[in-house]
Chain A
Amino acid sequence: MASTSQSEAIKGAKVLMVGAGGIGCELLKTLALSGFQDIHIIDMDTIEVSNLNRQFLFRQSHVGQSKAKVAREAVLKFRPRINITAYHANVKDPQFNVEFFQQFNVVLNGLDNLDARRHVNRLCLAAEVPLVESGTTGFLGQVTVHVKGQTECYECQPKPTPKTYPVCTITSTPSKFVHCIVWAKELLFAKLFGDKNQDNDLNVRHSSNNSEEGNGSSDASKDVFERSPHESSDQYARKIYDHVFGSNIVAALSNEETWKNRRRPRPIYVSDVLPEEERNGGVQSEDAMGSIPSAMESLGLKNPQEIWSLSENTRVFLEAVKLFFEKREKEIGNLTFDKDDQLAVEFVTAAANIRASSFGIPLQSLFEAKGIAGNIVHAVATTNAIIAGLIVIEAIKVLSGDSKNYRMTYCLEHPNRKMMLMPVEPFEANRSCYVCSETPLLLEVNTATTKLRDVIEKVVKSKLGMNLPLVMQGSTLIYEEGDDLDADMVANYAINLDKALTELPTPVTNGTALSVEDLQQELTCNINIKHRDEFDEEKEPDGMVLTGWSGPTTKPEKSNPSSNGESSSAAGVKRKLEEISDLNGKNKGIALEVEVNVEDDDDVSVLAEFPETNKKTRVQ
């Protein structure tokens, strides 16, 4: 194939692949066919049925096994003489430190989340190893090359931040189906089947409602969500239904102010929906022996594409609650929503639909609801294969020192200037990038009221993407995380976390310079603190503003909460394509429907504080 110098470079190369999923399977195959001899592959995931339509190295019999290990075995069948080292592990594990990264000539990413991508970017910068980064979504994809000192790093351009919904939209005034899904999944499902001790807005609302209602029917200490010993699972399910879809809505309606400019929701009770004979006995579930409990199955509903009626949703809701209590009782209290948990998906679909019905929002099928609730990737094998091919082409350029010809390539759905695969020259590094330059950041914060914990969680971890941070003021250590700390240090830090910045042993005030470091990522950022008394609760819900980097991004209008597992850092696609077309002064508005989405599976779950509520912060 390639020239002699290229094939020498390929043979002598040691490459690290991160991710053995959709892109990873294709990439490992193409690397092996291209003559690579020494490939290391990291993936923490195990194989699932919904992977099999595109992750072609896996079979039904492999479900549950390590992706990295099975992929290795599969490729060795047709290229037995090459070395493949598989790690069934998280790339963020400490074993994969800078020294580990330094042994490779190039790192190739086939990842599905922003967090891991940022982490790998930092390690590549620290280890000075070139990175080829990639992502796909449906028919769209992109490959970019990041070489320190030559091109921008993966984080030079801000990435879209997870979509958040104001709490009151979710708890009181949903207007879109996704709001109902978030409510069903994050609040109701979590309340019924998850950790009872977690702070939950259903709980908050419920107690405040009771006092507002003042009907004296229940004393404030009694929780409707507690199941009393004499209550059958069926009675319990009906009680919950009537409470969350009936009396809670009645209570909400009493707040006239809310509904002045909004359509008033309709309270729904089981008795409104189901005929008399069903109301008391409940549905007879045919027990399919040995199979996984499913409300759809017990009710004879077969087509996941079909939109259920309100009464069907009601039956599914009641049956799902019953099945959880009768068949999966041991798990109750520990469950978190999982898109691969059929019964959980059925419950969330039904609950979201009943709520949607109450608020006059169009209902959706289980298939659609599952996509929204699980932030499911739109993925096809062909795009992954194309993107993997492009990764290998760039990797070969990196290995043979052909830096003049590095390209970022976009795979488009509709041709742009005849091109389906469109290469462009890489961008230069952003001089204000806090990751690959030393430019300090500026944090505006109310130093008298903001706790160190908020700075650590909302800024250092969430915004800066650090894993195990260490915060210093001059030579004084304020905070540190890690496995090897003394117990008294840990206790000391725990005390610091709950102190306001000015109350710390070495107070952080206006003008203080903090140094924040992640030892594993070998990343250090300097943050200058500026005190400010007031923050706009709507625009600055964190009560803090971080600047100095390229500034915040807003997601394009057309965003959709369902998200991409094996997704591109797709925001970049649009921005860059617009820039490219701007260069030519024409072809504006390329017909590119980038589904810009955030990557993690739990994105939809992120709730922002509702601006008009009290100044109660969630983390206390």
Chain B
Amino acid sequence: MDGAEEELTAHQTALYDRQIRVWGVDAQKKLSKAHVLVSGLNGATVEFCKNIVLAGVGSVTLMDDRLVSEEVLGANFLIPLDEYANSNKSVAELCAQSLRNFNHMVGVSFLSGELSQMDGQFFDKFDVVVVCSFSQKDKILINEICRKRQKRIAFYTIDCRDSCGEIFTDLQNYTYMQKKGDERIERQLNYPSLEEAILIPWKDLPRKVTKLFFAMRVLEKFELLEGRKPGETSLADLPSISKLRKDLCEAQGLKESHVADSLLEKLLAAGKMEHPAVCAILGGILGQEVIKAISGKGDPLKNFFYFDAADGKGIIEDISVPSTVTA
């Protein structure tokens, strides 16, 4: 991910003119050397892929072996309807075909298989790993693999449940130059892993942490205990999830009303549905974050981002064990 010595070509300069005016030539060179893996191609990740392919990263590798269905098409604009009809191509292959046309300078490829089954060396090919719609167990597993590699691999999760969305970021130990007026000072951030973050006792968290954080943990736990895939829920699950919420909240020293019924209902009812506008917002935020992490420019998100179309707020939450909060 080190900046390249060679200059951008005339074509790159012409194509990237407007964004170079935003983040500079050095950032653009670093982008062109970065390799990004995306597993799970839903509305939010498709938006993200569009953004980073346009921005001009070195390569994007897609993983998603599903065949096209109504569910897949929901918020996906990369699959031309006439082409998939008679094909046995995977979602990853169809999306790769479209993305290649967005920017010929980006290497777009696809792989089949389960990311959680890949060995550590596989991950070394990438600078950034993004997973979408993974179970809590697999998210934690993949996060740990990334953390164990010698090179630093930035790890992100992104999930959209209808009008609500969550992004998690782990940049491990991340050093960057922060702009303070005209000065630049070196800043270091220490990120907890996903497992560390969600194991922090709830009562130790600031009182104003968005309720969505807790609701998403209840939902993930529910899916885990019931052996459901992410989003395999419906309103019929409300009684059992309410009970789980009560147990979890009480075990954490919080009242069960801390996570409102209406919020749980909304997330259960959403199932696998994605709100395309919310996908665009989440994919946009994640795109910016990945560009920041690669280029070392700008304050990166630490470590959760939430959006809910109901109130329109896009919130950053720092859920870290106290020792990692301070730089």
Contacts and interface: CB of A to CB of B under 8 A. Distances in A.
B303 interface: no
B7 interface: yes
A543 to B, nearest CB: 38
B16 interface: yes
A35 to B, nearest CB: 8
A59 B103 CA distance: 9
Nearest to A35: B276
Interface string B8-45: 00100111111111110100000000000000000100
B315 A78 contact: no
Interface residues of A, number: 57
Nearest to A52: B15
B51 A381 contact: yes
Contacts, number: 171
A79 B75 CA distance: 11
A419 B311 CA distance: 12
Contacts of B242: none
B17 A77 contact: no
Given A77-B80, A415-B316, A50 B280 contact: no
A139 B307 contact: no
B287 A382 contact: yes
A376 B21 contact: yes
Interface stretch (A385-393, A432-440, A502-510): A385-393
B232 interface: no
A53 B55 CA distance: 7
A138 B50 contact: no
B288 interface: yes
A592 interface: no
Contacts of B20: 367
A586 to B, nearest CB: 16
Contact of B80 (A78, A302, A415): A78
Given A53-B103, A393-B309, A420-B285, 17 more contacts: A30-B276, A32-B77, A49-B15, A59-B101, A78-B77, A304-B13, A376-B17, A376-B18, A378-B21, A382-B285, A383-B288, A385-B47, A388-B277, A389-B278, A393-B278, A393-B312, A407-B312
27 contacts: A30-B276, A52-B15, A53-B19, A54-B54, A77-B82, A78-B79, A139-B22, A139-B288, A377-B21, A378-B18, A379-B22, A380-B55, A380-B288, A381-B54, A381-B284, A382-B55, A382-B284, A384-B284, A385-B50, A386-B281, A389-B276, A389-B280, A390-B312, A413-B298, A414-B299, A420-B314, A421-B314
Interface of A: 1-2, 26, 29-30, 32-34, 49-50, 52-54, 56, 59, 75, 77-80, 138-139, 302-305, 367, 371, 376-386, 388-390, 392-393, 396, 407, 409, 411, 413-415, 418-423
Interface of B: 7, 10, 13-23, 25, 43, 47, 50-51, 54-56, 74-82, 101-103, 162-163, 273-281, 283-285, 287-288, 291, 298-299, 305, 307, 309, 311-317
